[in-house]
Amino acid sequence: MSADILIIGGGPAALTAALYSLRGGCSVKFLEKEAIGGQIADSPRVENYPTISEISGLELSNQMFEQVTSLGADFDMDDAQSIEKTPQGFLVHGTYGDYEGRAVILATGVKHRHLGIPGEDKFLGHGVSYCAVCDGSFYAGKDVVVIGDANSALQYALFLSKTCHHVSLITLFDCFFADAPLVKALGDCPNISVTHCLSAQSFNGGSNLESITFQNTNTKELVTVPCAGAFVAIGQIPDNDRFGNLVDLDRGYIVTDEDMATRTPGLFAAGDCRKKKWRQVITACGDGATASLSAQHYLSVISSK
């Protein structure tokens, strides 16, 4: 059965698009390949969402999901592999099935950027993680390392400091690229130490992670930091090449106009997956609302012909 609006993704942009589409009287199906919430579900605290002074990213995501499913959104766990234009609209080929939509909104977000160093794949799930919220509890009372220098890395360090014995925050450059309140909170936390100008070289250990080797970017000296766990927070990358037949890409990000429209009529994009300057939960929600309204307008136009 074809949905009026088929949404690819399960983060704030996708869920907001689903909400607006349902409120507009459209049938909605959305696909998510991993977990509802996208990147925001990994955030220990969200403190810049209007009307909510503080909430975990996971809780915010769950509330959004419950809202749209209670309104009638159809949800499938699947990974969209490709998309094609058809006379009726669009056909999305997933890992487990095919899905039809008269209009489609791509809200695929981004995925975690990896360091690409020896041992990273070997110790994934055995000491190396990209989500402090998901895996932090496994390292209670232990020494851990957080690699990164922006908001996510600082949030991870602060979150882990509540349960871990010691948190070493290690950055590649000589400064932070994070919000001032987070930097201040970091300085006030007694069991967090910060070391700048270290480049990760390898993850080391037997069956589990035991240490990380770094190189000082100034002196070229090798430094080994013992730890039970390492949390990598060095940014995200898009994953949109599979849609390149119908959209224009700029460094992997989908190019849209201000109405979230791509070069293919009826195909829209919203959130972190599209080319834009700011990537925040609230801007993703705004994109989702705009994409939905644009998709509804598109459907009304083609229906009147």
Task: Give the active site residues.
Answer: 131, 134-135
**Does the structure show a pLDDT above 80 at 43?**
no
Give the model's confidence band at 274: pLDDT under 50 very low, under 70 low, under 90 confident, else very high: very high
Cβ neighbours, 10 Å, residue 213: 18
pLDDT band at 112 (very low <50, low <70, confident <90, very high): confident
Mean pLDDT of 12-32: 97
**For the chain, where do the domains classified as CATH 3.50.50.60 start and end?**
3-111+236-303, 128-232
* pLDDT of 24 strictly over 80: yes
Q: Tens digit of pLDDT for each residue in 176-194?
A: 999 999 999 999 999 999 9
Cα→Cα distances 156→43, 168, 171, 172, Å: 8, 11, 13, 16
Query: Is residue 241 packed enough to be buried (19+ CB in 10 Å), middle (13-18) or exposed (0-12)?
Result: exposed
- The model's pTM: 0.79
Going by DSSP bridges, is the β-strand pair 222-226/209-216 parallel, antiparallel, or unpaired? antiparallel
Nearest to 214 by CA among 198, 190, 236: 198
Q: Which CATH class is domain 128-232?
A: alpha beta
- Residues 216 and 186: their CA atoms lie apart, in Å, by 22
**Domain 3-111+236-303 class, CATH top level:** alpha beta
Give per-residue pLDDT as tens, 128-150.
999 888 789 899 999 999 999 99
